[in-house]
Structure 1
Amino acid sequence: MSLTIQKSFEKQPDGASGKLYLVATPIGNLEDMTYRAVRTLQEADIIAAEDTRQTRKLLTHFEISPGQLLSYHEHNKTASGPELIRLIIEGKNLALVSDAGLPAISDPGSDLVKLAVEAGISVIPIPGANAALSALIVSGLPTERFQFIGFLPRENKDRDHLLASLQDEENTLLMYESPHRIIKTLESLQQAWGDRKVVLARELTKRYEEMARGTLSECLGWLQEHPPLGEYCLVVAGANPEDVKERRDAWWQSLSVEEHVLHYEEQEGVSRKEAMKKAAGDRGVSKRDIYKIIAVD
């Protein structure tokens, strides 16, 4: 990739391409809409929305009459994306919005941004509400360094692999989850990382906004008594640096996975199944991961 320089507000010659504006919308409270966001939507030639019905409600509330309101979402992005880029190249200014929050965060807007950058189109952020950062700043957990995970993979093996790779991550971790998966996700986090501190932020900026702060086990107990409702943002404490150092200095570091398992079989006389379980516990991975590595070897 060759170096490119974007000067967002430099005067453009006649016939130049339009621009792509990424416009933040409220995550629940309409008062979080900024003056600049309203003006940008008013002035845009085209508004592209994840859900045009939802966006039309927002536009109506702020008395915005779009020149064109087009659909752009996960299921049509392959066909719709290039067409939107063509319209921008022809000189149209396009504002992209998601259902809530910032476009391109856990959102197909990131693919449209990539196409725009490749086409030399200026991409301009119109900042505003964001659920993950809103949850982080009220969590009480460290905010100096953090990592955004988004939604965890649905497949067990993919989720286990990702969580294992993050076991030694010392930064605060942010992720999103739906109400029907939140309990399973907390159970997976506890199994992979132990009983860490966590904050469950629910219905942010809305009337029933709620934060549950505690350990993973405490929050699981809470959800058993208070069934999950609404979308959740999870803020999870990073790994304890002392625990990370202990794992990195562990006696088994120089052993292969097969040698690690054999150690328990020979030295402690346990079954292969139990030896694999112990090795998985040492390494902070699932027994399934140990089995797969040994099977390949």
Structure 2
Amino acid sequence: MPGKLYLIPNTLGSAETGQTIPSEVAQMAVKLRHFIVEDLRTARRYLRLLDRQMDIDGSQFFMLNKRTSPAQWSEYLKPLKAGHDVGIISEAGCPGVADPGAEVVKMAHEAGIQVVPMVGPSSILLAMMASGMNGQSFAFVGYIPIKKEDRLKMIKQLENRSRNEHQSQLFIETPFRNNHLAQDIINSCAPKTRLCIACNLTMPDEYVVTKTIAQWKGKLPELHKKPTIFIVQG
């Protein structure tokens, strides 16, 4: 009988796991001995936070990131097919959401392996909850293009979609480009369009503020290297 694939949420950066990771999730995670992880160092540190006595050196880790090939993904299912439970751990937040773990989950379903999602923090949902924007209809569109021309075009498209479909639009950027993206949003969107900036969620310096574009002008916060969710609603 095959093992189960557990999707184990990570914190969003905090070392205080008790605030965001349910005890049942922590207990299950440290029982496992096979893991598929986005970043080895992050995963080992996280497991050590959950249980300092865990035999991490006796555990098996498979790397899953943008450099991992589909051929390697299929290899990661072998412990499951041999009857061992396996956990996927993202670098932050929930596996499979804005995360390469989705590819392994897809393959697990195709192989008839049970997938078990576990409760934990999602920056996307936390930002949406706190934004005051339309939570009945929203879309997470992932990363914004890097090229200036493509970026500005995408921002206008998302603003128009939010207005025409009455739908909140959520997106992200690599943290060291956050300040540039925030300024591009201010320069591109209409004065009455609302923008929520949700930064360092669950952290001591958590920042979640929603204002119109007109209200944000000249008052943007410092976002450099801080994980941030942007939400636009026209």
Which TM bucket (shorter chain)?
0.7 to 0.9
Query: Root-mean-square deviation (CA), in Å?
Result: 2.3
Q: CA contact under 8 A between 2:177 and 2:224: conserved in structure 1?
A: no
Change (3 A) 1:199 1:90: same
Residues 9-33 of structure 1: CA deviation (Å, up to 9, x unaligned): xxxxxxx111211111111332211
* 1:11-26 aligned within 5 A: 16-26=1-11
Q: CA contact under 8 A between 1:48 and 1:94: conserved in structure 2?
A: yes
Aligned to 1:127: 119
Aligned to 1:212: 209
Q: CA contact under 8 A between 1:36 and 1:126: conserved in structure 2?
A: no
Q: CA contact under 8 A between 1:200 and 1:213: conserved in structure 2?
A: yes
Residues 145-200 of structure 1: CA deviation (Å, up to 9, x unaligned): 21111211223455455445432332112122234322332344455542311111
The residue type paired with residue 203 of structure 2 is K
Aligned to 2:49: 61
Distance, in Å, in 2 between the alignment partners of 1:138 and 1:132 is 10
Distance, in Å, in 2 between the alignment partners of 1:78 and 1:56 is 24
1:41 and 2:37 correspond: no
The residue type paired with residue 227 of structure 2 is E
Q: CA contact under 8 A between 1:85 and 1:116: conserved in structure 2?
A: yes
Distance, in Å, in 2 between the alignment partners of 1:93 and 1:126 is 14
Residues 93-143 of structure 1: CA deviation (Å, up to 9, x unaligned): 110010110011111111111111222221110121011111111112222
1:200 and 2:197 correspond: yes
The residue type paired with residue 35 of structure 1 is S
Higher relative contact order (CA 8 A, sep 6+): 2
Q: May I ask how many residue pairs the two structures share in their alignment?
A: 222
Could you say what secondary structure the match of 2:107 adopts?
helix
Between 1:209-218 and 1:115-124, the stretch displaced more is 209-218
* 1:1-297 aligned within 5 A: 16-29=1-14, 30-31=17-18, 32-63=20-51, 64-66=54-56, 67-156=59-148, 158-160=150-152, 162-166=154-158, 167-169=160-162, 170-190=166-186, 193-195=189-191, 196-223=193-220, 226=222, 228-237=224-233, 239=234
Structure with the bigger percentage of strand: 2
Distance, in Å, in 2 between the alignment partners of 1:227 and 1:164 is 22
Q: CA contact under 8 A between 2:131 and 2:196: conserved in structure 1?
A: yes
Between 1:96-105 and 1:42-51, the stretch displaced more is 42-51
Change (3 A) 1:92 1:220: farther
Q: CA contact under 8 A between 2:195 and 2:213: conserved in structure 1?
A: yes
Could you say what secondary structure the match of 2:76 adopts?
helix
Distance, in Å, in 2 between the alignment partners of 1:218 and 1:47 is 46
Q: CA contact under 8 A between 1:41 and 1:95: conserved in structure 2?
A: yes
Distance, in Å, in 2 between the alignment partners of 1:119 and 1:193 is 46
Question: Matched residues, percent identical?
Answer: 25
Could you say what secondary structure the match of 2:28 adopts?
helix
The residue type paired with residue 172 of structure 2 is Y
What are the ranges of 5 or more consecutive residues in structure 2 without an aligned counterpart?
A: none
Q: TM-score, normalised by structure 2?
A: 0.83
Distance, in Å, in 1 between the alignment partners of 2:148 and 2:189 is 16
Q: CA contact under 8 A between 1:186 and 1:220: conserved in structure 2?
A: no
Change (3 A) 1:228 1:213: farther
